[in-house]
């Protein structure tokens, strides 16, 4: 592991912001620290940078112990949430700042700055001041500035938070491409799942100062290991008190009274249609229908259970109040410690039959 955090703990007063945090990151990987606000993800990033110092635990970068090393000697590049560009310096001087501190020659600085401006797609804007740039452009400059000192690790704090939705999508792809191109080990903080899944090679899910799960987006999505991850990832509906055993094809998993059901696990068809596995379909009623742009969100009631489902635009057209047939393909059953990935028994049997 190129970058390692081992049993990092940190408190502000009585409040534990990091609680025995451990994880490792391979060289060249782009990793997202993902969690709700207040989950301690930014603190982890700042401890990694040396902007905060842990009370306990060790940090290694490239095999070297970094515990007492201050931020200026840690060899990291940091992109701040508000970019923190020096407003009184031109774009050129902002990018050149770290190199000037390192007493690089004028010529070297000049060519590196032009190279970086070229890289981030802002050639010719070197003489502008930050106030004369758009939010997206400022972010690119902040990125170029962080890379100028050739750091070993790039850390980004909510890099897209201050940018409007349209540009944000563009910038995500851009950042992913950039980081791949440069090949630098990078960690960024976000509270936006979509963003994390789209950009990162690997996710570190944080909650209440702890690391809940580390893995690739697909892995975390398919196999949430803690109840928090099961609830946090995806837009799940949560059922308590073993209510899920009323759903056809599921049995009680002892010790796991709650269940998280994501919209994509729920299939809704019109009452008249004949499904492939009729035995696991239940009768339901559409309670709400909300158009969400790319899809329609349905709220469907089965007995006393309400579930959410997504319907693509070309997938038929059920209306509010319609009687429908509903099937749940799988769900995550959990208690406070453990998560079970339950697949609809009807589907399981059919699968065995077909294979």
Partner 1 sequence: MKEEHKLITIILKSGLITWLLLLAVWSFGAMFYTDDFLPGPFVTLKGMAGLISDGTLEKDIMFSLIRVLKGWILGLLFAVPAGLCVGYFKPAGYVLEPFLNFFRFIPAIGFITLFLLWFGVGESSKVSLIFYAVIFPVMVNTIAGVKSVDYSLIEAAQSMGAGRSKVFFTVIVPSAVPNIFTGVRLGLSGAIICIVAAEMLAASEGIGYLIYTSRLYYRTDWIFTGIFTLGIIGLLADKLLRLLGKRFLYRFGVR
List interacting residues with partner 1 (CB under 8 A).
Answer: 49, 51, 70-73, 76-78, 80-82, 84-89, 97-98, 101-102, 129, 145-146, 148-149
Name the pairing type of β-strands 56-61 and 15-25.
unpaired
- State the nearest-atom distance from the C-beta of 83 to partner 1, in Å: 9
Q: Judged by CB, which is closer to partner 1: 10, or 145? A: 145
- State the nearest-atom distance from the C-beta of 78 to partner 1, in Å: 4
- State the nearest-atom distance from the C-beta of 255 to partner 1, in Å: 46
CA–CA distance, 59 with 38 (Å, rounded to integer):
22
Torsion sign across C-alpha atoms 209, 212, 218, 219: positive
- State the nearest-atom distance from the C-beta of 102 to partner 1, in Å: 7
CA–CA distance, 134 with 140 (Å, rounded to integer):
10
Least Cα distance to 334 among 233, 221, 255, 261 occurs for 255
Q: For residues 73 and 152, is the Cβ–Cβ distance under 8 A? A: no
CB atoms within 10 A of CB 136: 20
Sheet of 202-207: strand order equals 76-79, 153-157, 185-190, 30-34, 202-207, 210-215
- State the nearest-atom distance from the C-beta of 10 to partner 1, in Å: 17
Q: Judged by CB, which is closer to partner 1: 158, or 202? A: 158
Q: Judged by CB, which is closer to partner 1: 12, or 88? A: 88
Q: Judged by CB, which is closer to partner 1: 157, or 202? A: 157
Q: Judged by CB, which is closer to partner 1: 96, or 229? A: 96
- For residues 280, 285, 291 and 297, what is the CA-based torsion angle, rounded to 10 degrees? -40
- State the nearest-atom distance from the C-beta of 104 to partner 1, in Å: 11
CA–CA distance, 179 with 212 (Å, rounded to integer):
26
Residues 6+ apart with CB under 8 A from 170: 136
Q: Judged by CB, which is closer to partner 1: 88, or 315? A: 88
């Amino acid at each position: 592991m190129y970058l390692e955090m081992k049993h990092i703990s940190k408190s502000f007063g009585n409040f534990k912001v990091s609680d025995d945090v451990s994880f490792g990151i391979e060289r060249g990987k782009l990793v997202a620290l993902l969690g709700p606000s207040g989950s301690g993800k930014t603190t982890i990033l700042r401890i990694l940078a040396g902007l905060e110092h842990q009370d306990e635990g060790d940090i290694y970068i490239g095999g070297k112990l970094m515990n007492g090393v201050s931020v200026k000697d840690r060899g990291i590049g940091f992109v701040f949430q508000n970019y923190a560009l020096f407003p009184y310096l031109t774009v050129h001087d902002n990018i050149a700042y770290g190199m000037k501190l390192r007493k690089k020659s004028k010529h070297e600085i000049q060519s590196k700055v032009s190279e970086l401006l070229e890289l981030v797609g802002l050639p010719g804007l070197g003489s502008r001041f930050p106030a004369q740039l758009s939010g997206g452009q400022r972010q690119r400059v902040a990125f170029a500035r962080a890379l100028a000192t050739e750091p070993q690790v790039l850390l980004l704090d909510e890099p897209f938070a201050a940018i409007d939705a349209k540009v944000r999508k563009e910038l995500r792809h851009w950042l992913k491409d950039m980081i791949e191109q440069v090949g630098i080990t990078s960690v960024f903080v976000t509270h936006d799942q979509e963003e994390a899944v789209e950009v990162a090679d690997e996710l570190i899910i944080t909650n209440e100062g702890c690391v809940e799960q580390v893995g690739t987006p697909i892995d975390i999505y398919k196999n949430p290991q803690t109840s928090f991850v099961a609830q946090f990832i995806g837009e799940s509906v949560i059922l308590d008190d073993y209510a899920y055993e009323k759903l056809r094809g599921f049995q009680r998993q002892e010790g796991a009274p709650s269940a998280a059901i994501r919209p994509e696990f729920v299939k809704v068809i019109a009452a008249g249609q004949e499904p492939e596995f009729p035995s696991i379909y239940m009768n339901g009623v559409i309670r709400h229908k909300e158009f969400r742009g790319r899809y329609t969100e349905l709220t469907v009631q089965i007995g006393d259970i309400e579930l959410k489902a997504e319907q693509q635009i070309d997938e038929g057209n059920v209306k509010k109040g319609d009687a429908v047939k509903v099937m749940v393909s799988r769900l995550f059953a959990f208690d406070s410690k453990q998560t079970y990935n339950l697949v609809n028994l009807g589907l399981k049997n059919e699968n065995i039959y077909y294979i």
